[in-house]
Amino acid sequence: MGGTSGAVYSLIFTTAASALPNTEIKAVDWGRAWKSAINGVTKYSKAQPGDRTMLDALDPACMAFNEQLNHAEFNFVIKKTVDAAKLGCNLTKQMIPKAGRAAYVKQSKFLNDVDAGAFGVVIWISAIAEILMKG
């Protein structure tokens, strides 16, 4: 990872936090906050899902979380969330970079690898999932 990922993470967590209620926070609130964070990134940057950035892991994971939340047992929801992040990350191998660091560095060096930002998202989503599934 590199480039402006620190600033993007600041935007993600600040936007998500501002979307959380001041009362008891439920899983559905986390899903809304997550979506709000993604919307914040797309609003203030040029990046969109499909541009070979961290959004390519973050967005499908968020969608999986929100889609499964009311239909499945929580550990299944978490597993599907991680699976979606991993799939989104792996798909970046086939994408042409349109935003993020990969868009302005020599591309031939990176086109066979996943996007570093997307891989970073998989790492921290997997770590959170592991903790949540332990209960």
Closest Cα to residue 53, out of 113, 107, 4, 116? 116
Average pLDDT for consecutive 10-residue bins of the chain (135 residues)?
79 95 94 96 91 95 95 92 98 79 60 88 96 85
The 8-class DSSP code of residue 48 comes to: -
Contacts of 9 (CB under 8 A, 6+ apart): none
Q: What is the pTM of this model?
A: 0.88
pLDDT at position 6 is 86
